[in-house]
Structure 1
Amino acid sequence: MPRFIDAKLFKFLIVGVINTIVGAGTMFLLYNVFECSYWISSACNYIVGGICSFLLNKYFTFKNHKKSFVQIIQFSVLLVICYLIAYIGAKQLVYALLADFSIKIRDNIAMFTGMCLYTLLNYIGQRFFVFKEENVNG
């Protein structure tokens, strides 16, 4: 069993910073400036960041050079599952805890919370499922 906290985690976080700058910037810009909905804004975050994340994590973080269409499907399914769990859960939690705040404040806090939860779930899924190291020792 590989260690959970190692160089791969730190590389994943570096890639995450890049994705966060691009994706979260897109999300908050769409929501706050262009007045797109919560769902469109947060979904665009992961459409934009997903492609970048796949390439950087595959080759830089996990050094996985396996050519596999199945891997692309696994990655895409993982993104959707993590997105739904993180953003539905975050919105429900934040709306319950901050019921007296405005919708705009609750949505921004929910998006930030969803982003953090998504990162954790996505790392676990990429490391131990999509880009899982093959055991060469048998």
Structure 2
Amino acid sequence: MSKFFDIKLIKFVLVGVLNTLFSMVIMFLLYNLFHFGYWGSSSVSYILGSILSFVLNKSFTFQNKDSIWKTALKFSINVAICYLLAYSLAQPLMKLLLSDMHLKTSWVEQISMLFGMVLFTLLNYIGQRFFAFKEKK
């Protein structure tokens, strides 16, 4: 198996599925029941989901032994960059792609949030693997 696709990727996907379900429930509850809006719902869910993700990925996926503070700082920087990139790209792209469908704004925003999750996951794996939890040689 190649260096990029190994057991760490499988573990990351398992943690990601759990974390995605957790974050999705929070995000859509905040959006639909508490009317937090696009940025409020997605940011709160990512803060809470990131805490869960950090704990599981540090101990289970990457079995990282570095200082918790150093790793948490790198993890936080990675999550912040991935979040801003993914959700800043997702919303305008989905608005553009869905503009001819004349959907309600709330539907476009929720589809944008789902697409943002996909973008975030791809960027986040790369950042966690090669930056936040990078193995020392």
Looking at structure 2, the residues matched to 57 and 106 of structure 1 have their Cα atoms a distance apart, in angstroms, of 31
Instruction: Give the whole-Å Cα distance in 1 for the aligned partners of 2:22 and 2:69.
Output: 26
1:92 pairs with 2:82? no
Give the aligned residue type for 2:78: L
Report how far residue 68 of structure 1 moved: 4.2
Q: Which residue of 2 aligns with 1:16?
A: 16
> Which consecutive segments of 4 or more residues in structure 1 shift more than 2 A?
none
Q: What is the aligned counterpart of 2:135 among 119, 133, 136?
A: 133
Give unmatched runs, 5+ long, in structure 2.
none
Residue 113 of structure 2 corresponds to residue 111 of structure 1: yes
| Pairs within 5 Å for 1:67-78 | 67-78=67-78
Question: Secondary structure of 2:10's partner?
Answer: helix
**Residue 122 (structure 1) aligned with residue 124 (structure 2):** yes
Unmatched tracts of structure 1, length 5 or more: none
Identity %: 49
Deviation at 1:70, TM superposition (A): 2.2
Task: Deviation per CA, 1:60-105: give whole Å up to 9, x if none.
Answer: 0001121242221111111110000000100010011111221111
Distance 1:124 1:115 in 2: 14
Displacement after TM superposition at 1:134 (Å) = 1.0
Aligned residues: 134
Deviation for aligned residue 1:127 = 0.3
Superposition TM-score, scaled by structure 1 size: 0.93
Q: Comparing both chains, which one has the higher relative contact order based on Cα–Cα distances under 8 Å and sequence gaps of 6 or more?
A: 2
- Per residue, is there more helix in 1 or in 2? 2
Residue 80 of structure 1 is matched in structure 2 by 80
**RMSD of aligned alpha carbons:** 1.1
